[in-house]
Amino acid sequence: MQPSGRSANLGAWTGFLIVAFGALGLIGAFGTYAAELPFDRAVARSLTLDKVLAAARTPNAQAAEEALRPLLGDSADAVLSGSGPIETRVAAERVRMLSELHGEAAIYGFRLRCYIAVFTVMAALFGAMVMSFGRNTLS
């Protein structure tokens, strides 16, 4: 028994709607990769700060620390050129860096939630529009 034209059409439109929401799910899934960036940066910077502390205990501390300068990024001057013991400078920079990256993570999270909400609403409106076209052609 063959499906009637009406049910075949409705199935096609329903499949299309499922694909539209599937695309929304993919957008959300890809967005989760951006959420990890601040954490990854914090871990990498923290490991570099640990290397600075280890380098400070070596006989050629100045050269070892300078070799780490590119990895420290915007923390380099505060850690390598600051005043006071290296341990104090590293601890202060670790606190500043974690605070900065925590704020960055909050911004990424907010943006991702906004993007996903907007895309969800747009996919729902698009799906409703498509279903209303299907309903008009099926009647």
105-123, pLDDT tens digit by residue?
888 888 888 888 888 888 7
Residue 101: half-sphere exposure toward Cβ, Cα within 13 Å: 20
Contacts of 86 (CB under 8 A, 6+ apart): 52, 53, 56, 79
| Mean pLDDT, the chain, whole residue set | 81
Question: pTM of the prediction?
Answer: 0.63
Q: What is the pLDDT of residues 45-80, one digit of tens each?
A: 899 999 999 988 888 888 888 888 888 888 888 888
- Angstrom distance (rounded) from CA 117 to CA 126: 14
Q: Which of 2, 4, 21 minimizes the C-alpha distance to 130?
A: 21
Which residue ranges make up each domain of the chain?
A: 5-138
